[in-house]
Amino acid sequence: MSGTKICILDYSIGNNKSIQNAIKILGYDSIVSNVKSDIESADKLILPGVGSFKEALEFINKHNLDQYIKNFFNKKKPILGICLGMQILFESGEEGGAITKGLGILKGKIIKIPNKNNFIYPNIGWRKINFKKNIKNSFLTGITDKDLFYFVHSYFANTDNNKTDIIYSNIDEFEFPSIIIFKNLYATQFHPEKSSKSGLKLLENFLNL
């Protein structure tokens, strides 16, 4: 739709093209960029998924993208973090055997999914979401606990920040955050762009914020 400027942040890794295609299906145009002027002029910013926490942060810090993201957040403009794009928003991540400092907008750490019941990494496939409380937010319009979303990850957000709204998913009896909402920040551990109609609905909700 004309008038809405959507920037998919390019930090050298990610699934930019599939997100851009999903946005196009919904009738919007978007750009993939890490140019400061493109980010600053955007109405909405998307942090894509797929890749290594450490590599993503190295690129982001090297190109000062951390400040662009934080400035965007502080201006109260909507940000969507997808999978890795969600994880880098936290304080740190342990992927790769070393602790890497994250953006720190969200409180918590990214750690490996515990190896319970001979769990085989990564967590791949379709899972439901669990609403533990009634969360009223237009980002969730039309989304219920019957919707299925597509996950690909070996790490999860270890957080219990009571200032965030958290919706969970399960691997057997292990529970992990799958949607996090904090002020103007929206984040999903799953890939909405790969999650059929339910994922497109969630993306559409974000684009309509």
Q: Is 7 a catalytic residue?
A: no
Residue 202 CA to its chain's centroid (Å): 12
List, in order, residues 6 or more apart from 28 with CB less than 8 Å away: 1, 4, 6, 207
Q: Is 193 a catalytic residue?
A: yes
Q: How far apart are the first and last CA of the chain?
A: 13
Q: Is 178 helix (H, G, I), strand (E, B) or coil?
A: strand
List, in order, residues 6 or more apart from 118 with CB less than 8 Å away: none
Element (H, E) at 124: strand 123-128
Q: Which of 7, 153, 193, 204 is catalytic?
A: 193
Q: Which of 7, 95, 153, 191 is catalytic?
A: 191
Q: Which of 83, 95, 153, 204 is catalytic?
A: 83
Estimate the share of the chain in helix, then strand, then coil, as percent rounded to the nearest 5.
30, 30, 45
* Active site positions, annotated: 83, 191, 193
